[in-house]
Amino acid sequence: MSRSPLLDLAFGYMPAQMLHVAAEIGLADALADGPRPSAELARETGTHAPSLYRLLRGLTGLGVVEQKERDLFALTAEGQRLRTDAPDSIRALVRLFCGPDVWRTWGDMTETLRTGEYAWKRVTGTTSFEYFESNEELSATFNEAMAEHTRAVAPGIIEAHDFGRYGTVADLGGGDGTLLAAILRANPGLRGMLFDLPAGLAAASGPLEDVADRAETVPGDFFEAVPEGADAYVLKSVIHDWHDEKATAILRNVRAAMRPDARVLVLEQVMPEIVTPETRGVVHNDLNMLVSTGGRERTEAEFRELLEGAGLTAVSLTGPLPPSAYHVIEARPA
């Protein structure tokens, strides 16, 4: 009897946790200099050698490592992405989204479907953002995960939209400035403002180092107000975190700060009206918002309605952009 694809999906938690453990113990970093036996790797990663050997065999089956000899393992090209120093690293993303906190919220999805209350708040007693703020280590993992994701999507966004037409771009909720730095590097005549809560700005000096003469960091809360004076206001992966009422509040504060000729650029995935297996990525993200933040992914029509409710009018939609199907939704004051 052939193996059922549905059964493979049902057991998908197994490879997810294998990858999480590998990322958590820094296994790829320990393999960075070449093949090593399990005993050496166990000493460096602080693990039990016989158990680690069994995990290494499992990771071989996933194509993350290669078994050179009976007890000699090396990273594959894909496995290199679990290294902390890899330019396309996804280590922090794996640690965050396969970690115990997100894991618990997904495990409580049944109750979310029964009540409509997102699981993170029910499971932890607080919102995800408050939870991150109170946990320094988890907050650092979250910020690095967002930076990893931004490094992957930034080239497509920059290629798709002419940022050179602006004088100043404000990145709202921009974290450590990874996206703003990439935009400024690609547009030498541009100036930038990085706006976020103080905790979000804590690591900004690194990414912005080579463009520091054109970048200003501004602490604040976009639920209260945003800085005036920018020609374009960027909101990447912000609006999807919130339900309609809070998302509208953010956009209204942006609208209040905008000059008549300014623009707001909403950078998000767009939910198709009809979902297919090829668009499952945005659906998975939507379900993650359902259990983790109470937010949602939105269709083009829903984005337009949201913008109109904040006094803005969508003028263009560009995308989907590789590799993560982001869109650039450009809007002006109504």
User: Is residue 126 included in any domain, yes or no?
Assistant: no
CA angle 266, 303, 168 (to 5 degrees): 20
User: Is residue 118 included in any domain, yes or no?
Assistant: no
Q: 88, 106, 126: which is the final residue of a domain?
A: 88
Q: 43, 62, 88: which is the final residue of a domain?
A: 88
Residues 294 and 157 in one domain: yes
Residues 194 and 293 in one domain: yes
User: Is residue 237 included in any domain, yes or no?
Assistant: yes
Residues 238 and 150 in one domain: yes
Local confidence band at 253 (pLDDT 50, 70, 90 cut-offs): very high
In this prediction the pTM is 0.92
pLDDT digits (tens, 9 = 90+) for 185-229: 999 999 999 999 988 888 888 999 999 999 999 999 999 999 999
Q: Which residues have C-beta within 8 Å of that of residue 71, sequence separation ≥ 6? A: 37, 38, 39, 53
17 C-beta neighbours (distance < 10 Å), count: 13
Residues 170 and 36 in one domain: no
Position 321, amino acid: L
Question: Has residue 1 got a pLDDT over 80?
Answer: no
Q: 42, 63, 88: which is the final residue of a domain?
A: 88
Question: Has residue 79 got a pLDDT over 70?
Answer: yes
**Residue 240 a catalytic site member:** yes
**Domain of 156: which CATH number?**
3.40.50.150
Cis peptide before 320 (omega within 30 of 0): yes
**DSSP code per residue over 127-187:** -HHHHHHH-HHHHHHHHHHHHHHHHHHHHHHHHHS-GGG-SEEEEET-TTSHHHHHHHHH-
169 and 192 Cβ atoms separated by less than 8 Å: yes
How many folded domains does the chain comprise?
Answer: 2
Residue 23 buriedness (CB in 10 A; 0-12 / 13-18 / 19+): buried
Residues 176 and 53 in one domain: no
User: Is residue 295 included in any domain, yes or no?
Assistant: yes
Question: Has residue 2 got a pLDDT over 70?
Answer: no
User: Is residue 105 included in any domain, yes or no?
Assistant: no
Instruction: Single out the catalytic residue among 20, 149, 161, 240.
Output: 240
Partnered with residue 327 across adjacent β-strands are 268
- Which residues span the domain enclosing 20? 5-88
Which of helix, strand or coil describes residue 22?
helix
**Domain of 24: which CATH number?**
1.10.10.10
